[in-house]
Structure 1
Amino acid sequence: MSSSIIQVERAEKIFSGGLKVLHGVSLAIARGERVALIGPNGAGKSTLLRCLAGLLPITGGSIGILDEHFSTQPSARQRRALRKRLGFVFQFHGLVRRTSALSNVVNGYLGQDIGWRAWHQALAPASLRAEALNALEAVGLEEKWNARADTLSGGQSQRVAIARAIVHKPELLIADEPAASLDPAAGAEVMTLFHRLAVERGSTLLFTTHDMDHALAYSDRVIALRQGRIVLDASSGSLKRCDLEPIFHGQ
């Protein structure tokens, strides 16, 4: 088994209309690493994450992730395998608003071939509900298990989204700007929680951020994209804010 949990070779992504967002990106991420992916708007960060997770096909190159390898997009079998081993948190939590926090976390198991009826807590097996409650407890929301998602604050909603991503104990956690929609205090709480859970569970963590302090504080390594190309790849311990500012300011 490879020591790299992610291996990207010359990945390209061209959208309809000819817009090229990724220009031959190559990188490797080792198992257990915590990596921040930074860059200005339009750098290709979110596109790269979605290509890694199989949510978007790549146009050229290849991706190896969690021992699955593909050159366009994963097959149906590979998508099922990835869902069992990968947790993904979107920038905007994407909860089902009129169902409970617990139901939303149970929904994280839908990729495990449980079936569509399991989305509702009352229809889910007791063991699955117990796992969902454990995940909510891990993010400090066990008392909100029955609260409807549309009654939760932004920070609470993002915590539920994290619980949904970790409920099946994934080896790899990917988060696209998990704190961007939150105020600074709530954002720091979510990032601290995310990092702690990854460390405690031994999960590899890859997250995008526009916050230079978050990039330095919650990662072992920082990778920077500009215009679809990697322009920096270094240990976070060797970097300071002044090293990252030119990436965002176009210098």
Structure 2
Amino acid sequence: MPPLRSPAAPTLAKLRRLTDSVGLGTGHGAGPEIVPTMPFGVAGLDAALPGGGLALGALHQIHEGGPRGRYAATAVLFAGGILARLDGPVLWCLHSRDLFAPALARVGLHPDRVVYCETWRDAEVLPAMEEGLRHRGLAGVVGELTRMALTPSRRLQLAAEGSGVTALVVHRLCAGEAVEPEPSAARTRWRVAPAPSDEIGRRMGRPRWRLELQRSRGGAPGAWIVEACDAQGRLAVPASLADRPAAPERVPRRAAR
């Protein structure tokens, strides 16, 4: 009886051929001493991050803060906008077959750049991500997960540092799952959710997000109201909210006993 093969095996083989065809090998050794960064172009946000932007060649977590966290629609678009501004193909490890390619194209990530790896289970997403992170020249590797423990996150962080490829984990909430994520080795942890738009924003058609930096190694947490990524993957500060920080979220009071 032939051995069972992982559903990710054909995709990873395709990825190897793709990187080999353009002269891109696998990464070895430690990462660079100075971590390159990519600014978001939002002054307050970049000031909160070490180096003035998102660290490249590192692991980052993105959580959906909207009411439908299972679908992680806003988190997926935020990840797509980040990768749209980086050069090279993207390996996207799917947790469910519901990734809407036209929506990614609207934030600048063209479907032709994306190699899809359908794994379905967290246990298969993690090794597929780790394998993908060994290939230099990728813009990034995305994995959709419900949970990520500390040890696997360390492996992903080390793999990203070794190759210089950016890793993004998009978390999908399951029924009954705690809102607070587990500790991890990720450099940053984000929470992104839809935010109400004013009349001008509704007419212009560019939605707003509440972008919260929950954790940043060497940086400062904060929250901002931003306009969603445009066709080049860039965020912007709404004109009516310039120079104003995001209002703190209201915490519901506990019912009196």
TM-score of the pair, normalised by structure 1: 0.40
Q: Of Structure 1 and Structure 2, which has the larger fraction of its residues in helix?
A: 1
TM-score of the pair, normalised by structure 2: 0.40
